[in-house]
Structure 1
Amino acid sequence: MIIKMMGKADGDNYTLDDMFVSSAAQREGDGQEEERMRSRAVGESRRLNASMEKCRLCFSSPELHKHLVVAIGSKRVNLRVFPVAVQVYLSLPEGVSMTEGHCRICPLQHHCAATGLDEDVWSEMQLFRRTLVKMFEAQEMDCVFMETHMNPRRRQHMALECLPLPRELGDMAPIYFKKAILDCDEEWAMNKKVVDLSSKDIRHAVPRGLPYFAVDFGLQGGFAHVIENEQKFPHYFGKEVVGGMMDLEPRRWRKMIRENFDDQRKKVLQFAQWWKPYDCTKAPEDG
């Protein structure tokens, strides 16, 4: 016998059969959602693996030009408690440098953005940054540090680029970058166009997962910009600003200009000489 109940809202007949069908449909829907989430996770994992296999910046990758690496992580290892894991490395660009001393700080492992870094990696990147500022100050140079995080789904390896500038241009850099950020991207933006990084770092200024551009001036903080339309935002944005300040040819930043091995070797040797007196990877007992 089929038991019937009266619907409270409209008086329609409602049977136990209907209840079972509804419950089964709900379970089926839950199962489909779980399957979608599982498929999404598998897809993300495959994309990450594919990115890592072709990555030119992962330290374990055969694609990395290791002859351009100047320093690797920290050798200040135990502090009499636990070993400090090596987290980052410093290298020079494969192509023609934007400015003399152009370099980049990268995580050894495949991290995609500073907004996703844990404290250990972040701290060691900041150690390298402070060391570079000190090194270039001795040459009466300023420097800007830039990161461009675009196309998050492609999961590209992050790089914090350091571009030295003559002192007089370094003083003007915040003005140039702020104006360029205000003029870029969409006219009507959902996010604040210029995010001030003077009192907080990028990890606390931009939500994880969003594309962004960030620039810091020496150790003074800087600006971040959430990229609203990646089709209209050039991946070379920061280099273009520096290129405009220094009156360089556009080909210097629009596409990497190949550099032969001998020229690469010369710039590595020159940079290594600058770096040696300030080397932050040496343990105190190493001198």
Structure 2
Amino acid sequence: MGSGEIPLRSKERGRSRSPERMSRDSRRDQRTDSRSKTVSFGADLNKLRAKVMKARLTKSPDLAELEKQLAAAMNGGQPQAVTEQKDKVVVLPRVDSHGRLLSTRSEIKEAARVAPDNLTIEQMARLERETEGEDTADQELAAQIAKDSRFSNDLEYIDDNSERLSRRRQEKTSEQIKQAAVRDYKAMEGMLDSCDMCFKQTEQADGSSLLKPPSYPMIALGNRVCLMLPIREPMNDGHCIIAPIEHVAGSSLKCDDDTWDEIGNFMKCLLRMFAARGQGVVFMETVISTRPSKAGHCSIECIPMPMNKAQDVPGYFRESLLASDDEWSQHRKIIDTTVKTEAAVPKDGDVKDQDRNHFQAREAIRRGGFRNTMTAKMPYFHAWFDPYGGMGHVIENPELFPPWFGREVIAGVLDLPPTVYRKPRRLKESHDQRCERADEWKKRFGWKRYDWTKMLEQE
């Protein structure tokens, strides 16, 4: 390289940028910083809420200090919009009626409009989340066809009227977007107030906020997922429920990888705990509706049973699923979600083989056949018989599929009466009685020995 030549990096660095480009880069940097702060704020807030609930359940002396920290963190959050009503200010969080964090950026939508074929997988996933609930191109075309009384399904007519048929609705104004955010906020608040599984934040007379625990007896609490006892009469003594802390409406498939890591941890701990007592476990999830207002808080039921009966459960579910719904269906009656993995048998206590089995089970739960086979956009039923998967069923006609289907099959295996699974009686308990029932459950089954959430306290 001669003395008069300049390296390419120096050339690029030496170029002067136009004011428009500098302004555009500055706005992009500000959006990136805002997005990273929002994600960090949400993760820290989840951990702080978990610490507050653990302190409340254990009656820790640090409860008052943790509640102050939570109130300060809530007041220091990043709002999206503010709505004033008399003297009360309501901060609209960056979530939709599904309870999921959304971005307010528009550059992905602009990129999809300019070059839709150049989007990355991450951008397409984010675009799908941002535009969920909006009309797609096919829906826009269907709306234009519905308005045309003279429509004829032939290529000549479509070519002659292509401009009118491809006309899209006018983009929403800022006021319409704001009103949509207000509607989503009210819908989300209504779902949280009526949900018995959610942690509710109540305002005190002195202006401070108090985090109220769910109506379900709490056994263990992670950063994103908790283990609870049923609020109604359980099917047996070991019956428990795995549910995310945040309100996820309907399907557990909407949860992210971190949430599924904790779900898998609870599954493996419960399997080990009941296996030590000579029992098998069946995990079940039933999603009857995909509408957030009707779906309710997603949950996975855990029902233990004697090992000899647990081995027959897959056959019972197979026969019951084949006879469910209509005789003719668009989907297979039974969808196998088992991940085929080769288990390593530990030789002379070889830790490497044990670690290999552990990571295989973790990946099967996190990215296994269930998450790759089933979809959250359709109602379904799924049963896990081990961490590697089980069998699923797409519910095509929710009116014909009973919401207690899984419990009914288990009741048939265990010879239980219909009152146990069909409409179990709700238990009327105070907060102290719920805590007492949870403590008795933990002592009876020795949960303390298998509780993985103790590791979180050491962090």
Distance 1:208 1:96, change over 3 A: closer
2:247 aligned partner, one-letter code = H
Give the whole-Å Cα distance in 1 for the aligned partners of 2:322 and 2:180.
36
Given that 1:51 and 1:155 are in contact with CA atoms closer than 8 Å, whether structure 2 keeps it comes out as: no
Instruction: Name which of 259, 274, 279 aligns with 1:136.
Output: 274
The answer to whether 1:201 aligns with 2:369 is yes
Instruction: Give how far 1:221 is off.
Output: 1.8
Aligned position for 2:241: 104
1:129 aligned partner, one-letter code = M
Instruction: Identify the structure with bigger relative contact order (alpha carbons < 8 Å, sequence gap 6+).
Output: 1
RMSD in angstroms over aligned alpha carbons? 2.9
Give the whole-Å Cα distance in 2 for the aligned partners of 1:142 and 1:57.
26
**Structure 2 segments unaligned to the other structure (5+ residues):** 1-155, 157-162, 202-211, 340-367
Q: What pairs with 1:1-287 in structure 2 (closer than 5 Å)? A: 30-31=169-170, 46-60=186-200, 62=212, 64-65=214-215, 68-73=217-222, 86-112=223-249, 113-153=251-291, 154-199=294-339, 200-261=368-429, 267-273=437-443, 274-283=446-455
- What is the aligned length? 249
Give the whole-Å Cα distance in 2 for the aligned partners of 1:50 and 1:285.
33
2:219 aligned partner, one-letter code = V
Given that 2:193 and 2:200 are in contact with CA atoms closer than 8 Å, whether structure 1 keeps it comes out as: no
Deviations 1:145-193 (A, max 9, x none): 0000111112411011000011111010110011111110121111111
Aligned position for 1:19: none
Instruction: Give how far 1:277 is off.
Output: 0.9
Given that 1:198 and 1:221 are in contact with CA atoms closer than 8 Å, whether structure 2 keeps it comes out as: yes
2:320 aligned partner, one-letter code = A
Aligned position for 1:6: none
Could you state the TM-score of these two structures normalised by the residue count of structure 2? 0.50
1:271 aligned partner, one-letter code = W
Given that 2:218 and 2:435 are in contact with CA atoms closer than 8 Å, whether structure 1 keeps it comes out as: no
SS at match of 1:224: strand
Given that 2:273 and 2:447 are in contact with CA atoms closer than 8 Å, whether structure 1 keeps it comes out as: yes
Q: 206-215 or 54-63: which moved more?
A: 54-63
Give the whole-Å Cα distance in 1 for the aligned partners of 2:335 and 2:322.
11
SS at match of 2:381: strand
Instruction: Give how far 1:26 is off.
Output: 8.1
Give the whole-Å Cα distance in 1 for the aligned partners of 2:414 and 2:449.
28
Could you state the TM-score of these two structures normalised by the residue count of structure 1? 0.78
Give the whole-Å Cα distance in 1 for the aligned partners of 2:287 and 2:456.
36
1:270 aligned partner, one-letter code = E
Give the whole-Å Cα distance in 2 for the aligned partners of 1:132 and 1:63.
23
**Structure 1 segments unaligned to the other structure (5+ residues):** 1-8, 10-21, 74-85
